[in-house]
Amino acid sequence: MTTYDPNVFFTMVDRDGRLYQQVSFYGWRFEVPLQIVLGSAKMGESYLYWHGDQLYQHNVTHLSANDAGDAELQQAAQWINSPGYVDGDAAYARPIPSRCLDCHMTYVDFREPPNHYTPESMILGVSCERCHGPGRDHVRYHQQHPQATRGEHIAQPGKLPRAEQLAICAQCHSGSTPLKGQPFAFRPGDAVEQHYVAADPEAAVNLVHTSNQLTRLAESACFEQSEMTCTDCHNPHQNERGNRALFSERCLKCHESQACGMSESLGPSITANCIDCHMPKRAAEKLRFATAEGNVFPPLRDHHVRVDEEATKRFMAALEGG
């Protein structure tokens, strides 16, 4: 990855199955290991490394290709400066606070701020326990009671009241709000306000973490006028990303295709993609990555479900162009 300064560039190295970012800074070279990956790759991936018991972010992030379906929004996969890093620098000194890991991992023992942890305690990925609660007591009970048929000491989110179901998702999908206490303290059945500062609906714009989905969804008429939850559209146990036809099928469980203003123009094909008109992808000024060629603003899916005339015009123009 080049920068505006020809004396500063980065090389991604795969050496015997170990990955590094190699930094060239005015003739001085050093390597930093890629030890932890953060991000789903929907938008991109960032990388972390350990320095003793302290966790830091790498200078370089990978931005995924974007299939927005509009030539103005399409973005090729590329290496870029990590969000907030200045192009032409090689800092490698951004500490990773506990709030980041509280969403990106299942658990790690947080020792002291800003970024001291117990490395061997880390449970990577977002596993079952983030939605169902800690499993130790559940496993221990059923080992001791093998004939028991009802799950004990474990939550079944689908059987919780709507607000408590939404709170499980809201841990990480209602805005990057500060923690009120220790990380990883939330348990299914808790109110999200017990553990996190409430998200500000007025500030519910596309941010770097793409974590405002529930805040934006809550502004939608279909959310306000029903008992819908996140899992009415998303199956948390399946990777359904990008499957517009599948998500559109779920829209049609509540909506009639004939009610759409474009149904007469598009006919039956309208049922294949409700998403790009009613939940468009848009770039946002607050989400930018610095590159040698200038800032990149990747488009993100807006979860405010609505009639969007601008998105509809783009969608129809893309159909005509195709």
In angstroms, what CA-CA distances link 76 with 4, 65, 103, 241, 318? 19, 4, 27, 18, 19
pLDDT in tens, 290-310: 888 888 888 888 899 999 888
Contact at 8 Å (CB) between 117 and 109? Answer: yes
Q: 215 Cβ partners below 8 Å, 6+ apart?
A: 174, 175, 199, 201, 204
Q: Which two tokens stand for residue 322?
A: 């195709």
Contact at 8 Å (CB) between 274 and 305? Answer: no
In angstroms, what CA-CA distances link 309 with 256, 279, 306? 19, 11, 9
Rounded CA-CA distance 320/310 in Å is 16
Q: Average pLDDT by consecutive 10-residue portion of the chain (322 residues)? A: 96 96 95 94 91 97 72 72 90 93 96 97 95 94 95 94 96 88 95 89 58 88 95 94 93 92 87 92 79 84 90 84 62
Q: Which of 2, 59, 3 shows the shortest CA–CA distance to 31? A: 59
Q: 59 Cβ partners below 8 Å, 6+ apart?
A: 10, 21, 23, 81, 82, 85, 89, 90, 91, 92
Angle 189-192-198 (CA atoms, 0-180°, nearest 5)? Answer: 165
Q: What is the pLDDT of residue 242?
A: 86
Rounded CA-CA distance 61/78 in Å is 9
Rounded CA-CA distance 40/101 in Å is 14
The domain segmentation of the chain, as residue ranges, is 1-126
Contact at 8 Å (CB) between 128 and 168? Answer: no
In angstroms, what CA-CA distances link 39 with 124, 208, 209? 12, 11, 9
Rounded CA-CA distance 29/8 in Å is 10
